[in-house]
């Protein structure tokens, strides 16, 4: 969950109250793809 918070895709409060586990995993995937795409463009 720290990866989601540190990438600023969601706050800890949002993860605890709004988003479920599947949502959090989707956000981690988004963060991973975004990092890969930014690495590829350099």
Q: How far apart are CA 18 and CA 22, in angstroms?
A: 12
The confidence score (pLDDT) of residue 22 equals: 97
Nearest to 35 by CA among 16, 8, 1, 12: 8
- Give the model's pLDDT for residue 1: 84
> Is residue 1 within 8 Å of residue 15, measured between CB atoms?
yes
Local confidence pLDDT in tens for the 42 residues of the chain: 899 999 999 999 999 999 999 999 999 999 999 999 998 665
Sequence spans of domains, the chain: 1-40
Q: What pLDDT shows up at residue 42?
A: 57
pTM score, two decimals?
Answer: 0.81
- List Cβ neighbours of 3 (8 Å cut-off, separation of 6 or more): 28, 31
């Amino acid at each position: 969950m720290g990866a989601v918070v540190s990438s600023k895709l969601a706050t800890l409060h949002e993860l605890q109250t709004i988003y479920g586990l599947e949502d959090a995993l989707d956000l981690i995937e988004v963060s991973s793809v975004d990092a890969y795409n930014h690495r590829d463009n350099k």
